[in-house]
Amino acid sequence: MKEQNNPQLSFNKEQNKPELLNDKAVRVCVNYINDNEKEEVDFDVDESFLDHMNEQGYSNPSQQEVNDFVWAMVEECSETKEEDLPPIGQVMRKSRGIE
């Protein structure tokens, strides 16, 4: 299966976090976190992501606004300290519906 040209994202409302839908999305976001260099890409986002942007005050965003919004989210994630993250066991249990 051929990879899409653009990184693709969605937004999981239940978990209140973005979802990277293809390898390119993962790669450009990780590269930005590691190297602080933004790749020249346009992010493709679905209706769930656009709904989230709308809730944040972006109604009918342009492609540039989508790109800037995604890069800002990646930057915010890169600033999260490891001790602020939930333990991996807790994450795994919650993902399987075990509280």
Cα atoms in the 13 Å half-sphere on the side-chain side of 69: 25
19 within some domain: yes
Neighbours of 53 (CB within 10 A): 19
**Position with higher pLDDT, 6 vs 86:** 6
Q: What is the DSSP letter of 27?
A: H
Task: Supply the range of the domain harboring residue 76.
Answer: 8-95
40 within some domain: yes
Spatial neighbors of 48 by CB under 8 A, at least 6 apart, are 10, 11, 12, 13
45 within some domain: yes
Tens of pLDDT along 81-99? 556 555 655 555 565 666 5
- pLDDT score recorded for residue 44: 97
Question: For the chain, what is the domain count?
Answer: 1
CA nearest neighbour of 27 among 17, 16, 11, 38: 38
pTM of the model as a whole: 0.74
